[in-house]
Amino acid sequence: MKEQMKENTAMIKAVRNNQLQQRRIHDAVRHEIAHIRGEMATKQDIAYIHERPDYRLGRTVRTEGDLYML
């Protein structure tokens, strides 16, 4: 039981790390697109996007999907 719990914890940490990495990549791409268009995305803009319900729901669904696949 303890070994299974350790394995599950390790998998959850891996999924969380992947989620954070994907968020950083997404933010970088969004910033680059804004830069190309001549618009600079501020930290406040990015924070606002992360607070939007549709963005958070999408992230939750993707994370749940990853956990299901594990």
Query: Containing H/E element for 12?
Result: helix 2-37
Residue 27 has pLDDT above 70, yes or no: yes
Quick: pLDDT tens for 29-51.
887 777 777 666 677 777 777 77
SS3 content of the chain, % helix, strand, coil (to 5): 90, 0, 10
Amino acid at 16: R
Whether residue 40 contacts residue 34, with contact meaning beta carbons closer than 8 Å, is answered with yes
Residue 60 has pLDDT above 80, yes or no: no
Domain ranges of the chain: 2-69
pTM of the model: 0.47
Quick: pLDDT tens for 1-11.
888 888 888 88
